[in-house]
Amino acid sequence: MEAAVTTEGSSRDLLIAEFDRVRRYTETLCKPLETDDFQLQSIIQTSPPKWHIAHVTWFFETFVLPGFIPDYKPFHPHFDFLFNSYYNSQGDMHPRAKRGLISRPTVRDVYRYRAHVNAAMRGLMESVGDSKWDELHFRVILGLNHEQQHQELLLMDIKHNFSVNPLKPAYRDDLEIPGGKSRPMRWLDRSGGVRRVGHEISGFAFDNETPRHDVLIRDHRLADRFVTNNEYLDFIEAGAYADPALWLSDGWALIQRESWCHPLYWEQKKDSWSQFTLGGVRDLNPHEPVCHLSFYEADAYARWAGKRLPLECELETMLSGQTVIGNFTDSDLLHPAPAGDAGQWYGDLWAWTSSPYVAYPGFKPLAGSMGEYNGKFMSSQMVLKGGCCATAQDHARASYRNFFYPQERWAFTGLRLADDV
């Protein structure tokens, strides 16, 4: 595995190498795309690949370069408007729902933009004075972690963008199909008590993972793997999508309104099921973890199974005792795989928790515009833990708090059960 993106002191050469590595991987992810693919935005939640690769560049051009180079001249006077995502303190922005309408700048222009900013960033990292090094180092690492988040979004968004095409094209036709069979679910007894959660002192973390603090956890049990497609089929065949007693009120209204009766990307033909993947349409593998569920579907399954979803603190304390290994982008499957004999903790799928995404006690957002990164989204969303098959391995950690609205399911989301003792 390559070195992790970290804030711990490193030389200029190491930081430049890290910058180049992460920036290059974004372009590697885009290599299988045709020019036409760069423009697609299938739903408001997804962004066109062209927008993603410009926006992560805008981040460095906005939050790093001008702060260190007073006479820095932006690559284009209107890119600040086009590629600002949601930073109101930076000024107005193009509407999110209309990102797919920006045919100019072209893809070629955006790659020129990337090269321009890369050169400026390299020059800055080579020349900045020692007194400004720590601040630059922090901002570069933040920008690289931001770019890694968008690398994951690129894959999730490409999948959805491609799925609405009746031809169901594959993003990659050389992806290996995960092998192996599921095994019985094992339950781990976890004793309760006062535990510490949140980011530890060393290494990079986003502000929303801080401060580290005490939580009171009850005795509980955790399933050591995700729920499989086969197990979820039992839920479907039991008529669960037609049984209001299993659903939270908002979830029941949603599945009625949208006529949902199975996970996203599943398709039934006579007696068999298939699913759309980044490798195109495949037969549904009963042994794989069920994926692309909303929070409401995960919650309803848990209720049907007589169990519940884990709390964030239960999962985080379990993850903090595990090595960060699993099915990440480094595995190059880009799809969840059946659980091996060891526990399935990190990677494969983001596990829904029953914990709302709210501030930790004493939370302070980063100063200035960076304070808009995470804190302002702390309402009406749920926390997910563990990383997924579209996450870089060196981007995952126990304290990481991903968050999505409960109705969203285009991300690589999965379902892990918990139980009270």
Contacts with Fe ion, residue ranges (CB under 5 A): 85
Q: How far is the CB of 25 from Fe ion (least distance, A)?
A: 16
Instruction: List the structure tokens of 181.
Output: 């069979």
397-400 — which CB contacts under 8 Å span 24+ positions? 397/203, 397/205, 397/324, 398/316, 398/317, 398/319, 398/320, 398/322, 399/197, 399/198, 399/199, 399/200, 399/205, 399/209, 399/316, 399/320, 400/205, 400/206, 400/209
Helices (H), 264-311: 295-304
Q: Which residue number, 85 or 210, has a Cβ lying nearer to Fe ion? A: 85
Are 310 and 353 in contact, with CB atoms under 8 Å apart?
yes
Q: What are phi and psi of 318, to 5 degrees?
A: -70, -45
SS3 state of residue 130: helix
Q: Are strands 326-327 and 346-347 parallel, antiparallel or unpaired?
A: parallel
Instruction: List the structure tokens of 91.
Output: 């000024």
Q: How far is the CB of 303 from Fe ion (least distance, A)?
A: 35
The CA distances from residue 211 to 238, 320, 344, 357, 403, in Å, are 44, 16, 28, 15, 18
Q: Which residue number, 63 or 296, has a Cβ lying nearer to Fe ion? A: 63
Residues 299 and 55: their CA atoms lie apart, in Å, by 34
SS3 state of residue 266: strand
Residues 31 and 19: their CA atoms lie apart, in Å, by 19
Q: How far is the CB of 210 from Fe ion (least distance, A)?
A: 20
Taking residue 273's Cβ as centre, other Cβ atoms within 10 Å add up to 18
Q: How far is the CB of 85 from Fe ion (least distance, A)?
A: 5
Q: What are phi and psi of 163, to 5 degrees?
A: -70, -25
Q: Which residue number, 39 or 85, has a Cβ lying nearer to Fe ion? A: 85
Q: How far is the CB of 58 from Fe ion (least distance, A)?
A: 9
Sheet holding 418-420, edge to edge: 187-190, 220-223, 418-420
Q: Which residue number, 154 or 290, has a Cβ lying nearer to Fe ion? A: 154
Residues 366 and 104: their CA atoms lie apart, in Å, by 33
Q: Which residue number, 329 or 374, has a Cβ lying nearer to Fe ion? A: 374
Q: Which residue number, 85 or 294, has a Cβ lying nearer to Fe ion? A: 85
Q: How far is the CB of 150 from Fe ion (least distance, A)?
A: 6
Q: How far is the CB of 275 from Fe ion (least distance, A)?
A: 28
Q: Which residue number, 96 or 213, has a Cβ lying nearer to Fe ion? A: 96
Q: Which residue number, 85 or 161, has a Cβ lying nearer to Fe ion? A: 85
Instruction: List the structure tokens of 377.
Output: 């989204």
Q: How far is the CB of 306 from Fe ion (least distance, A)?
A: 40
Q: Which residue number, 61 or 288, has a Cβ lying nearer to Fe ion? A: 61
Comparing every residue's Cβ against Fe ion, the nearest one is 85
Q: How far is the CB of 330 from Fe ion (least distance, A)?
A: 22
Q: Which residue number, 86 or 340, has a Cβ lying nearer to Fe ion? A: 86
Q: Which strand (E) or helix (H) includes residue 382?
A: strand 382-385
Residues 301 and 131: their CA atoms lie apart, in Å, by 55
Q: How far is the CB of 324 from Fe ion (least distance, A)?
A: 23
